[in-house]
Structure 1
Amino acid sequence: MKSVAMLRASAAITALAAVLLFGAAARMRTMGDGWAVDANRAIERYAFADRSLTRDMLSARIGLLRNYDMINQDLASADESIEGLVQLAGDDLPLRDAVSRLGDHTRAAEAMAEEFKSENALLQNSLARVTALCNLLQDSPRAGTVSARFLRLTLDTSPAAVAAAQAALAGVTGARSDLEAQLVAHGRLLIALLPRVDAILDAVREGSRDGEIEIVRRLIVEHQQRIEAGHQRAFLGLLAAGAAAGILWLALLAALRAQSRERRRRRENERLSATVASLLLEVSSEQLEQRIGDALQRLAAHAGATDAYLVLQGEQAGRTYVWSSDGRLSENWPVRVAAAAQDSPLWEEDVLHLALPHGADTPLGAMLLSRGTTSLLLLRASTPVPALLGFERHDTDRGRSDVIAGLHMAQAAILQALRRDGLERARLQLELRLARARRMEAIGAVASGVAHNFNNIIGAIGGFSEIAEIHAGHNRVVREDLSEIRQAVDRARELVDEILAFGRGHDAEYRPLALQALVEETVRLVQATGRGTVRFSAQDWPVGREVQGNATQLQQVFMNICNNAFLAMPGDPHVDVTLGFRVECRPRAFSHGSLEAGDYAMVTIVDRGCGIAAAAQPRLFEPFFTGRQGGTGLGLSTAWEIVQAHGGTIDVRSAPGQGSRFDIWLPAMRAQLPAPVQQAAAPLSGNGEGVLVVAPAAIREAVEDLVAQLGYEPVSVDPARADLAEQADHAGADAVLLVDAPGAAHHFLPDGRSGSEQGVLLLMRPASGQAFAPVPLAAPLDPVALAAALHPLTGAPTLQP
């Protein structure tokens, strides 16, 4: 009995030792893996926040970021990652030191970011104010010089550029105008702020943490290896302690072999992750899709799968990467699987493992049965890019523990590469926009000056033609000629408005457009020039689809490209114009620019002319670049800027001797109702009431004649006089008309307003002795609007249009 009791006690002790041994083995196996995953996630979050900080500060510097929430989020994410790494480092001194150095870098970046935010806020405010003041003082040569110097200073903060800006600002110092005084104050602030802000940006960009990040990654791997080594030693010690019992020894030997196989498979997973990461390291955007396909092939082989796919979600929902052993897996199938699995109850954390016939009654299982698939493995991730990684197998199932750890690490490497590619694309797009903006701002400054002077001439022509039409009576021939003059003036005004909007950087008015009707009208206009034959066809343009844009600008794009096509065919020119509709499921790159996924209208213009040399194609849309004798080099550059402003791009395909094809891509939208057209009021006539005219000598006589033709008595004075208010009282004028006289209104307005915000300002005095009240009018001066504004002086009731 005693021996039986001892045997039972030995059996119990052996069983307890076996339970403790296997429990310790399981615990050691999971501890190391969990630590490595947490540490790698923390360092990847820190690296992403570090890169995002540089990008967001650059965006804030150029005015694209309206607040600093993104910068604060980047800094908070970096701090959170550092805190996590400090906790994970424990008593590992080399790792703690490396993390501490990263923390020092982060604190330095935080200090520079705080200084940047305060300085940049002042900078953006002063920059906006200087730009507005220069636009308001565009008639002043000194203000024009200051505008040009500060434009250069925003792009180049070298000592030479600072000295040039200070010299230009010195020419304005001591000016009498309140606006010029404001310009001097804000200009001095800009000269002080711009170099400091750019120096902060340079310091943040140059303080690279890539080397320290790589050191932390290496130390994490070494720490993990030490953890595994320690666990292995402890496990072997436990194994030696239980070697006295024969039965336990056999069980422990089997467990040791199982652990050895699992370590071997874990090393295979680590090698797989390293291989995938090396495939996607330093790869261009053009090669990324192919490299991801190669990575999916390696992951499928590791998982024993015949098909593998990656489905992006979130902002890039529907974008897929597919690898199939037989090449018959469609891109639509992974999207359907992702949609069916989204709310499936089979998810265990971020893993879904379905092996038929289990789950055959679910929608996902029914889909797999219809395709003949016996097993499905899905891994989902939310950072750095939301995505779903899927594997389908037709052979026997492999246990999930053999593959999931390595697949998770490889998935993170692929998603990180996609995130890096997205950031690089955004950076290149930003640099391209900045370069083009710098070139076009110089052109716009010149165009604005010319258009402003031309505006005065157009106003005089329009005013005299309308007055002459009033006095023409029933002479049909004269009225028809005057009507043609007015129509030409209206077209010239539209052109001047376009030039001014371009020069000042204002957006043109966009509205829903029936693109097919606009293209057909353009084709008729081009055909009417008699330069060649134009054939138009709408292949697959859906009814009710429109584009949001400016009809005048888009028509200019189509006509510029058609005219270039005619010039490329000196013999019997004929051009084919086609309107089509395209749906892009993923971002796409073109010869010039790229587009995100979406619905697009595509206007194709094809000629069979001499073609374009390969060396000239990258520079087609540069301002002033031309390959034609006598060309200005502004036609295609203007077309490019218009299409870019509409959210589209232009794809060019051409070869010498084989003609050229221009595909103009524009975002498509739903149809909208056009805005109602307002009718203008009829002109009114005065009865000799006095009007004081304050205008420069160049246009003073034209304004006097216009006021007289409307039935009022004009009295003219120079805007530079200091007694303008006394002149109004002396002339008995109850109205003062200010035309291109900035700063003159403060003689009449009690609150001291300058009145220079409008090109034309009418001041009305309701009764003798009362103060003047401002009545803004649009520039150039419209006789109909002026007559309606002056009509209350006659004492007659106001007529409604």
Structure 2
Amino acid sequence: MKVTPAAAMVPVLVLLLTWLSVRAINPEAELFDRALGELDRFAMIESALYRDVFSARAGTLRNYDPLVWEINALHDSLGQLRKTAAIDTETTAAVDQLAASIDRQEELVEQFKSDNALLHNSLSFFGRFGVRLESSDLGPAVTAASAAMLHLTLDTSSAAVRDVKDRLDELALQRASTAGDGDVVGGLLAHGRLLHDLLPAVDNTLKAMRALPRKRDQDSLRTMVLIRQSASRTTARQFRRALYGTSLLLVGLLVYLGLRLRARANVLQRRAAFEHVIAGISMRFINAPPQNIGAEIDRALGDMAECVGSDRGYFVMSGPTPRVHAWCKAGKSFPPGWPERAPALAARFGPAVDGIIQVPRVDWMPPGVNKEACLALGLGGWACVTNVDKDGTGFVLGFDAIGRPCRITAAGELSLLRMALDTIVHAVERHSMEKERARLEQRLQQARRMETVGTFTSGIAHNFNNILGGILGHSEVIEEQLASDARPRHSLDAIRLGAERARDLVDQILTFGRPRDASRRALSAGTLVAEAASLLNVSLPPTMELVIHEPPAAAIVSGEFAQLLQVILNLCNNAAQAMGNTGRIEVETTVHEVSEARRLTHGELEPGRYVSIAVRDAGRGMDGPTMAQIFEPFFTTRSGGNGLGLATVREIVREHGGAMYVASTPGVGSCFEIWLRCLATATPAPQVDAPALALGRGETVLMVADDSSQLLREEEMLAALGYEPVGFTDKDSALAACRSASERFDVLVVGHLGSTVASLELATALHQAAPRLPVVLATKSTGEIGADALMVAGIADVVHWPIVAAEIAVALDHCSELNRREAKLPPGPPRAAYSLAH
């Protein structure tokens, strides 16, 4: 998962808060407090030391143990001060200065202890000797010396020292002149002179101790500690302020991240909803029939636009077959020319990453042509995705926000636009593939029907035509022998006309599997029905009643006269046989307006105007299973039937773009309705005898077949149709020519190569060598070929081998039209046409 910079700042701020918290509580404050406390203790110990020293000097301290303990306590306190107060160099120097003072103090105390002990010892002896001599002759001198010594103990000034010395000298002079107690006087004099020296020395030691700068050193150290304590407190206050600010920053950052997470969750929720909509759209596209793809695209645009909160949604496809699908919210509308101009506007924004163009707010765009174009369309925000396939067809899927910002802002939602576009494009492509597959399936069925009918009729067509030729010949002989006003002349004309129609029907059967739309023209339904009635009146048994309802004059259809006539004749004959050649047949022609798509029993009708020709009978009717098979070739319920009548009817109607409706009730009768498009013109075109075949424009056609003589005949036929054939009997040579110069050819025709599988394999190889060239497969048998195999091999059309001129002309014309669409060229001028007789 991607970590945003804001989220990465959270652990940094937490670490900073932790450090600030430690610094804000001032961890040095305790050290400073301990240092100050230790200084107070140090001062108390030192005061006690001086007290005890003076007590020892006064003689009230019995031993010197307190002095030793206090000196040690001072050293211990000094060690604690080193741990607590000695933070920097200056403080360390102050502690060292105090330590030097303590060392000096210790020296003086030691000296004091020595001198003071000797002092008090001498005072003791001096007093004892003075008491013994008070009663002697030297009593006054001793008393004077003791008094001077007592004064010296209290005042060690130089005058007191001289006074003691003078008294001791006087005592010494008197001793010399007085006999007795010499040793006691000597001891008194010795201790007196010793005290004379010790008392000033001890007081000097005390003065030296008092002269030490202990108070100054302590005060200096205390001042340093207090300064650093104040600085520490000031720093702690600053850290507390920083801690407060950082806490506010962290809270703000957490709130921001919370909002971002909420926004991200909303984006993920919208993305999931969008993905769900796209998945549902994909399933609908998969399940939708081909004719409903357009409606499903419109519905998909509405679902996606509502999901992303847009006011308009559209899908635009440009190319040989452009199409536009659009949806807008109720109360909104599209401006003129929009969304048709969406591809052009998207192109003006320049190359985009993955084809995605996003304008969150049009009013934030820099001034320019693009901004003016968006404002002119009423866009407040715009998001679209574009794509171009390998054939150059462009696709645009866009969503408009009118007068407000675009709600599609997150990268995840924008990426889904590509998925949505691909979903629609795949649906369109699948629709095109389904149409192509249906077309190939139809061509394959036509080829199979031609094989079946060809096999069935090949043995009888020649003999049947010979019989019809005899009938026509005899009719002509009899006609020559009859006068023009003879009564049998009318019957003879009917015989000749029936034989000619029978010959036409044989030709129709022989061309059952071929395309029949090469000679369509405007036909009057009334003329068709009248012609059919004239033939049926002489062919139906007298027990049959034919009722013809007058068709409306507006009933004009497009088609081939003989084929549609055959449809009516087949339906009427089928009705007569269903009634056992006894009963009533009704033929009714009506014009209908179809306002919406309608599904009949056999086919569908788009909205428009139609001509309906209904043939009704009161025969035995049909049950459901029978009705499900009536249009299958060779299915019949009559022992003498061949099963081609209704199959031919269904194929002719389907190839004319029409549909059929069949209703039947067992024991009641049946109704067959033919629905054909009604033309707007009321003037049918004159009938011609032969269909016109479209000629080529010199396109080069590569042909492959294993029979050289047959290949030569086929080349001559293609040359007559206006194409330039290039034949090969060796498939390897044909494949090499296609690979080396595929641009030389316009169409590839693969003929018979021993088997259908071999022909299909060569067609596949040629398609792989030249994917853009349409391939026509000419085969003798289509039973082992499926539509999927044809699509994989790139087959554009299937015809029968040997080639039939009318059939190959339609196939090559279709391939040429594909090439023109591929090259995006407009259709050429009308081409010449020529006729082939049946």
TM range (shorter): 0.3 to 0.5
- The TM-score, its normalising length taken from structure 1, stands at 0.41
- The TM-score, its normalising length taken from structure 2, stands at 0.40
Work out which of the two has the higher radius of gyration on C-alpha atoms and give 1 or 2: 2
